[in-house]
Structure 1
Amino acid sequence: MTNSQLGEVLLAVLLLLLAANLLGQLFRRLRQPKVVGEILAGILLGPTVFGKIAPGFTADLFGADKADHRAVVLGFLYNLGLLMLMFVSGCAAQHLLGEQNRKATAWILGVGTPLPFVIALLAAPLLPLDEFTGVAGSKEAVVLVFAAATAVTSIPVITKIFYDLGILHTRFASLQLGSAVLEDIALWGVLSVATAIAAATIDTTGDELAATIGTHVAVNLGYVIIALTVMPAVLRRLSRAEWNVVARNSPVAWMLIVFLGYVSLAAALDVTLAFAGLLAGFGVMGGMKGTEQERFRAPMQSIGDVAGHFFVPLYFAIVGYRLDLSKTFDPLMLAGFLIGTSLVVFLSVGLGAKLAGMSRLDIVNIAVTRNARGGPGIVMASVAFDAGIINATFYTALVLTAVLTSQACGFWLDYVLRKGWPLLSGADLRRRGIEPVPEELPSIR
């Protein structure tokens, strides 16, 4: 790459990063999810807005086709941002299953997660799947993506909303994140199966298709089981080893080496890379306690800061840039998917929360939060679109649904806190003879 070409790439990165952070901070001040502003930055700079005003200049700035050096580098940063987002989310997925939340988590996870997925599976054949299907031409894969996109919850977005509202320490946050982590692990497994079906549909037929899918499912299942059960203990032992000078002297480098190792192995085994990033974060921080957790807290914070202010905003800005709402926006598809899936999630999660003994306000708070699709919803849409499972129109509907549901979550929780209402009343604990400990909430009236 010549100096001129490098300068062109850096200018494109500069504009995307600047716009994403400026609009992200603006939306944060408006008490809205930062991710919405980051996606909007890409929409403004992309073919939807600026591309209509100066299409030639936009092509010169960001690349006219996939082979262009600017498009190649931005594509790399897009994928690295996705992986870093999942890695940081996995690292944060610790200490989430507190004893007081186990019964409620079991009900919400046992009813609120599988019910939307099953309802979506049953409803999918009644829908015009041809209008959703991508170049892979696999309706089976489309059905799985449709069901997973209905049930998914955004760990990164709701974590960020909880942090911005000052409620990350509460039982409400712990309950939501604990069930969402387990739910998303299962749904990412479904997505990996869908990508395998799509790839096999293109390359094979008949018995070869069944064998390919079976092998892929077995490999993914083995990868997940080992990553969740064996690797956290192995990595803890390795991080404490006297001979491991990297972990001892440069914890940041050690964590990134683990991250790259997980992703590289996943690529070799044809495991969905975004899923591998999530498991890498879970593995590197899994089960750490006391001084060991403190030793890696600052390095994790450093990685999270770089990811959160550089790689992740770039990822979401490029997501927005890839949306051409003038060509791929179907208001009826968006309205149908948004309203239909939201109702299914509200009813399913509400039933699980009711069976757990929650009060009416508790149920509303939990359902609105669990409906926030956010980052994972967008990542799932991106992975499915890149794999040719879904077309550009359905991809746009999934991304906009993720944005709108995340905005609704941020707005509602902010409203509840401003009213001085409890996030969780503790009714479920009182029914079990446990008096809930009052939690200190931020004063934001």
Structure 2
Amino acid sequence: MTEQELGTLILTFGVFLCFVHVLGYLFERLRQPRLVGEIVAGILLGPFVLKKLAPQVSDFLFANPALGEDRTKVILGFIYWLGILLLMFISGSQVKRLLSKENRRETAWILGIGTPLPFLLVMGLGLAGIIPVGPLVGVQGVAISALLVLASAVAVTSIPVISRIFNDLGILHTRFASLILGSAVLEDIALWGVLAVATALTRQTSLAEQNIVGSTAQHLVITFAFMGAAILLMPHMLRVLGNARWNILLRASRLAYAIIILFAYVGLAAYLGVNLVFAAFLAGFGLAGGIAGGEREHYADALESISKFSYGIFIPVYFALVGYRLVFGRDFSPTMLVAFLLGSSLLSLISVGLAARLAGFRRLDILNLAITTNARGGPGIVLASVAFDAGIISAAFYTTLVLTAIITSQMAGLWLRYVLSRGWPLLSTDNDEAPEPLLPPLPSGQRLAGANASASVS
């Protein structure tokens, strides 16, 4: 690469960084999710805004003859994938003492009904032909994989976004937060496993395969074996490696050790044909000690450094590139967006509401749990990105999933801020003397300290 080529690439990357942080900051100041500003930055730099307003500038940044459009796409694609892998690695590492004893019964209800019910209903309606799957299918033409993504997109909950909302509102320490995050961790593990299966089916269901059934079955076995080993065995093995005296790399640099764990998981997953994003999540999950947690504090400084650098550079650019790839032309379907947003939200709210009711929660408790778990956020966007890259879903459905993830995250943040501002409890079991649901607000002096907190998310 010549100096001119390198300079052009750095300039393009710098423009992305500038736009994502300026737009992210402005949206945060407006009490909107930061990731929305980052995605909007990508839209402004994309073919539907910059390309139309200043085509010469767009060509210089993304199709410069000195660098070549193909090479630009490859390098930006590497940055895109690095951002998504770091995001999922950090998300997986956030598992820490989430499954407390007081929440096990309620978590079991949410996981037993709140997650599987919408997933199974969508799968059943899709297989019966009631849901038209055709417009959702991507270039690979595998309808069953697109249906699996559709069902997962209805049931997924955003761990990073919800964690950020809880932190901004000062409620991360509460039982409500512990219950939501504990359920979301186990739920997302299952749903990322479904995405890995959908990806495996897509890779193997092609005309070039000589033995489609046998090859697909082999890949599914490998995927489940990788998932089982990563969840059940690897946390213990990583704990043993972390305590080994001969582990010179760990003593030399905990940060480098954590990144190498990530690279090892991703490299092995690539070799085996397992979904890389799921592997990155499992790498962070294993490093944190698995479901039991307890290991994350040993890598706290390293993970904090990785998180700060990633959220400062690669993850915002990843979200900008998500916006850059959104389709608003002829392939965009407002009807699909409205139908999916309303249908998936209603199904998710009813399912989680039913689970919460069976778990013994009251009216406002049920509403708080249902609206919060409906936030798709980062995982919803990642799900869309991975499925679109694999050719599982169409461009129109990709745009629909991203916009739905943004809207549902905003809904959750606004609702929780409203509840706190009214002085209502998140869970009535935390305060038996709390006001009844939907009563007039308490005097301002009695409202919770988090009432005026910003619910911006990233």
* 1:294 to partner: Cα distance: 3.5
Name the CA distance, whole Å, in 2 between partners of 1:397 and 1:5: 35
Which digits, 9 at most, give the CA deviation of each residue in 1:68-111, with x for residues without a partner? 22221110000110000000000002211011111111101110
Which stretch shifts more, 242-251 or 382-391? 242-251
Could you tell me which residue of structure 2 aligns to residue 309 of structure 1?
A: 312
Matches within 5 A, 1:395-406: 395-406=398-409
Matched, 1:324 2:327: yes
* 1:29 to partner: Cα distance: 2.5
Which stretch shifts more, 309-318 or 239-248? 239-248
CA 272–429 in structure 1, closer or farther in 2 if over 3 Å, else same:
farther
SS at match of 1:68: helix
Name the CA distance, whole Å, in 2 between partners of 1:64 and 1:166: 47
Name the CA distance, whole Å, in 1 between partners of 2:208 and 2:3: 44
* 1:429 to partner: Cα distance: 9.9
Q: 1:123 aligns with which of 117, 120, 125?
A: 125
Matched, 1:236 2:267: no
* 1:15 to partner: Cα distance: 1.3
Could you tell me which residue of structure 1 aligns to residue 91 of structure 2?
A: 89
Matched, 1:251 2:254: yes
Name the CA distance, whole Å, in 1 between partners of 2:168 and 2:23: 16
Matched, 1:266 2:269: yes
Matched, 1:144 2:148: yes
Name the CA distance, whole Å, in 1 between partners of 2:334 and 2:22: 28
- Contact kept, 8 Å, 2:289 with 2:296, in 1: the verdict is no
CA 272–428 in structure 1, closer or farther in 2 if over 3 Å, else same:
farther
CA 343–428 in structure 1, closer or farther in 2 if over 3 Å, else same:
farther
- Contact kept, 8 Å, 2:206 with 2:212, in 1: the verdict is no
Matched, 1:444 2:447: no
Q: 2:363 aligns with which of 360, 375, 383?
A: 360
**Paired amino acid for 1:160:** R
Could you tell me which residue of structure 1 aligns to residue 196 of structure 2?
A: 192
Could you tell me which residue of structure 2 aligns to residue 79 of structure 1?
A: 81
**Paired amino acid for 1:72:** V
**Paired amino acid for 1:29:** R
CA 97–34 in structure 1, closer or farther in 2 if over 3 Å, else same:
same
- Contact kept, 8 Å, 1:46 with 1:324, in 2: the verdict is no
Could you tell me which residue of structure 1 aligns to residue 441 of structure 2?
A: none
Matches within 5 A, 1:196-235: 196-204=200-208, 208-235=211-238
Name the CA distance, whole Å, in 1 between partners of 2:293 and 2:286: 14
Which stretch shifts more, 269-278 or 128-137? 128-137
**Paired amino acid for 1:60:** F
SS at match of 1:243: coil
* 1:158 to partner: Cα distance: 1.0
Name the CA distance, whole Å, in 1 between partners of 2:380 and 2:431: 30
Matched, 1:25 2:25: yes
* 1:140 to partner: Cα distance: 1.1
SS at match of 1:137: coil
Structure 1 gap segments, 5+ residues each: 431-439
Which digits, 9 at most, give the CA deviation of each residue in 1:337-370, with x for residues without a partner? 0000100000000000000111111111111111
Could you tell me which residue of structure 2 aligns to residue 281 of structure 1?
A: 284
User: What's the % identity of the aligned pairs?
Assistant: 52
* 1:64 to partner: Cα distance: 7.4
* 1:204 to partner: Cα distance: 4.7
SS at match of 2:313: helix
SS at match of 2:98: coil
Which digits, 9 at most, give the CA deviation of each residue in 1:100-123, with x for residues without a partner? 111111101110000010111122
- Contact kept, 8 Å, 1:137 with 1:201, in 2: the verdict is no
- Contact kept, 8 Å, 1:121 with 1:147, in 2: the verdict is yes
Which digits, 9 at most, give the CA deviation of each residue in 1:32-78, with x for residues without a partner? 32211111110111112222212332132123799522221110000
Could you tell me which residue of structure 2 aligns to residue 180 of structure 1?
A: 184
Q: 1:167 aligns with which of 160, 168, 171?
A: 171
* 1:203 to partner: Cα distance: 4.2
**Paired amino acid for 1:89:** S
- Contact kept, 8 Å, 2:142 with 2:202, in 1: the verdict is yes
TM-score w.r.t. length of structure 2:
0.90
- Contact kept, 8 Å, 1:35 with 1:157, in 2: the verdict is no
Which digits, 9 at most, give the CA deviation of each residue in 1:164-184, with x for residues without a partner? 222211111111111111111
- Contact kept, 8 Å, 1:195 with 1:389, in 2: the verdict is yes
Name the CA distance, whole Å, in 1 between partners of 2:199 and 2:138: 12
Name the CA distance, whole Å, in 1 between partners of 2:205 and 2:296: 45
Could you tell me which residue of structure 2 aligns to residue 435 of structure 1?
A: none
CA 61–106 in structure 1, closer or farther in 2 if over 3 Å, else same:
same
**Paired amino acid for 1:120:** V
Could you tell me which residue of structure 2 aligns to residue 334 of structure 1?
A: 337
**Paired amino acid for 1:62:** F
* 1:141 to partner: Cα distance: 1.1
* 1:31 to partner: Cα distance: 2.7
SS at match of 2:361: coil
Matched pairs, number: 435
Name the CA distance, whole Å, in 1 between partners of 2:189 and 2:23: 31
SS at match of 1:328: coil
Could you tell me which residue of structure 1 aligns to residue 116 of structure 2?
A: 114
- Contact kept, 8 Å, 2:372 with 2:412, in 1: the verdict is yes
Could you tell me which residue of structure 2 aligns to residue 58 of structure 1?
A: 58
